[in-house]
């Protein structure tokens, strides 16, 4: 083969190689789009289920009491951590965001969504719910009940804070003077005595 022919052959090989390098296989490679069907798997689901027993790091719920509101399968009736003013304020805030639209600001089940035609929500002041255990409310928030959907997206600690605030709402509608700390009873007496004449004047 002459030098000229050899040069032409090398040039042709170079052109072919360059042409192959311009193919779009690396850009258009087969892949599975999220939630799309796939013929690769027997069940035709592109998104594959997690391996059985897989637990996301930090999400092993070893504390049944904290994460389910139950102990040995029974609803608990004490909080898994102390409820202080900060927790109660957090509960009030979360309640007003997630619960008040249906249950109302006072928990009477007459929130704005209900007033506009949605199915009546539970009234926290009925005897059945006043006597329910704390874990029951936690469970309903986490898993839903009846027409109420689950609110599992609410953080675990916030669910308990909401339960604490619900208890406060229940107490607010059935409180007695004896429930007020002795150091504050004079203040409560004054407030009540001022409220009575105002109520009479309104009638």
Query: Could you state, in order of their start, the residue ranges of all structural domains in the chain?
Result: 82-177
Better pLDDT: 51 or 16: 51
Q: Which residues pair with 37 in a beta bridge?
A: 45
Per-residue confidence (pLDDT) for residue 57, from 0 to 100: 74
The pLDDT tens digits of the residues spanning 103-134 come to 999 999 999 999 999 888 999 999 999 999 99
Please give the DSSP secondary-structure letter assigned to residue 70: E
- Tell which residue, 120, 117, 91, has the closest CA to residue 103: 120
What are residue 71's phi and psi, to 5 degrees? Answer: -140, 120
Instruction: Confirm whether pTM is higher than 0.85.
Output: no
* pLDDT over 80 at 139, yes or no: yes
Better pLDDT: 199 or 76: 76
State how far the alpha carbon of 34 is from the alpha carbons of 38, 45, 47, 150, 172, in Å: 10, 10, 6, 25, 49
One-character DSSP codes across 42-64: TT-BSSPPPPTT---TT-----H
**Lowest-confidence region among 11-20, 64-73, 77-86, 94-103:** 11-20
Domain spanning 82-177, CATH class: mainly alpha
Q: What percent of the chain has pLDDT over 70?
A: 79
The mean pLDDT of 18-37, rounded to a whole number, is 67
CA angle 148, 149, 155 (to 5 degrees): 115
Distance between CA atoms of 167 and 150, rounded to whole angstroms?
Answer: 20
């Amino acid at each position: 083969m002459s030098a000229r022919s050899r040069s032409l052959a090398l040039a042709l090989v170079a052109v072919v190689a360059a042409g192959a390098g311009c193919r779009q296989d690396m850009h258009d490679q087969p892949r599975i789009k999220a939630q799309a069907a796939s013929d690769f798997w027997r069940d035709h689901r592109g998104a594959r289920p997690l391996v059985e027993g897989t637990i996301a790091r930090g999400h092993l719920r070893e504390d049944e009491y904290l994460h389910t509101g139950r102990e040995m399968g029974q609803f608990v009736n004490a909080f898994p951590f102390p409820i202080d003013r900060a927790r109660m304020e957090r509960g009030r805030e979360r309640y007003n965001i997630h619960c008040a639209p249906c249950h109302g600001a006072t928990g009477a089940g007459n929130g704005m969504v209900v007033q506009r035609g949605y199915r009546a929500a539970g009234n926290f002041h009925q005897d059945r719910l006043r006597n329910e255990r704390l874990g029951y409310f936690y469970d309903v928030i986490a898993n839903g009940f009846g027409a109420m959907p689950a609110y599992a997206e609410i953080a675990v600690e916030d669910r308990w804070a909401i339960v604490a605030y619900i208890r406060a709402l229940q107490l607010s509608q059935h409180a007695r003077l004896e429930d007020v700390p002795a150091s504050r009873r004079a203040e409560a007496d004054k407030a009540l005595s001022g409220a009575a004449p105002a109520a009479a004047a309104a009638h």
